[in-house]
Amino acid sequence: MPKFLITLLIPLLLTANQKTHIPDSKRAADIRTKIWPKLQGDLKAAGLKDDQPVFIRIFKEPGILEIWVKSGRQYKLFKNYLICAYSGGLGTKTKDHDGKCPEGYYTVTPTQLNPVSTYHSAMNVGYPNAFDQSRGYTGNAIMIHGYCASIGCYAMTDPMIEEIYTMVYQAFAHGQKSVDVNIFPFKLTNANIDKYSNYPYVSFWQHLKPGYDIFEKTHVPPVVGVVNKNYSFR
């Protein structure tokens, strides 16, 4: 290859590497070495590929984190994980130190991974998102992490966060740019909303419901925006 072409290509390669950089550590790498072969076997058994995008849903009640994996045009449920602890009960976070865990539509990018967390492994869910910011909600550093202890975060057991973290890492390593994390108080069926109709958060939950319904109908994560301080979905 001519020298002048090599000179032109080097900055492009550096830029590409910078864009795909994923935070890592020896501990996280050791966990992947241990966990990823098992997860690959589980994916194969479920009829799923190990290089596909992932999607996360969280339900405060009954305390479940779901990982979905893309299969064709839709996503297929891969695994359910029991949430070990979350704080503040039902209803979304609105201010710093309120002890509550957020509900809504969030996004994790590679830079939000923390492979050296004191809570074993952690990923920042991205609170406050654009909706939260438009409403003046405060607080930060809301994580999905291990260690089974929570003040505003979604805490898992260490073995469970190892699997969740590894799935997200590998999705990034295979080219996924961001992972959607949809967080709900419970499955937003009409029956459940009626069941919790005496809670002060009902109007907020009804506002979340169209995005929930899109995924239930299509098994494709909704495209989420914010218009006039409200979520929009398509």
CA 99, 181, 206, 60 dihedral sign is negative
User: Phi/psi at 218 (nearest 5 deg)?
Assistant: -110, -20
Omega before 37 cis (within 30°)?
no
- The beta-carbon contacts of 33-37 under 8 Å, at least 24 apart in sequence, are 34/162, 35/162, 35/163, 35/166, 36/166, 36/170
Q: Looking only at Cα atoms, what is the longest distance across the chain? A: 72
Do residues 173 and 161 make contact, with C-beta atoms less than 8 angstroms apart? no
Quote the CA–CA distance of 234 and 224 in Å, as a whole number. 7
Catalytically annotated residues: 145, 153
Omega before 62 cis (within 30°)?
yes
Residue 173, classed as helix, strand or coil, is helix
Residue 75, classed as helix, strand or coil, is strand
User: Phi/psi at 142 (nearest 5 deg)?
Assistant: -90, 120
